[in-house]
Amino acid sequence: MEKGVFLSSFAAIFIAELGDKTQLATLSLSAGSRARWMVFAGSAMALVCTSAIAVVAGDAVSRYVNPIWLRRAAGLVFVVLGALYLFGIGEK
């Protein structure tokens, strides 16, 4: 097992998911339910499924596009979105 890949994936997703809409939705669902462990199981399974889709899609795309270009494109998208949010472009 490649510990480095596992740990970096865990850390990146854990940090990215803290305080996002998914976590807030899970918080809301568990606050309004007596079956909190079922909320946990459902939200965990949803994250597993979306992650599986991302891994399969990443594998398929990486067969045609060099991974360095994928990282660069993702970085560019994050920078552009960050600038749009920072300057309030597109807000009503």
pTM: 0.69
Percentages of the chain per state (helix, strand, coil), in multiples of 5: 80, 0, 20
Work out how many domains the chain is built from and give that number.
1
**What would the pLDDT profile of 32-68 be if each residue is shown by its tens digit?**
999 999 999 999 999 999 999 999 998 999 899 998 9
Distance of CA 51 to the CA centre of its chain: 8
Is there a domain that residue 81 lies in? yes
Cβ distance 63 to 57 under 8 Å? no
**What would the pLDDT profile of 8-35 be if each residue is shown by its tens digit?**
999 988 898 888 888 899 999 999 999 9
By residue range, what is the domain housing residue 8? Answer: 3-87
Query: What local confidence, expressed as pLDDT, does residue 67 receive?
Result: 86
Is there a domain that residue 92 lies in? no
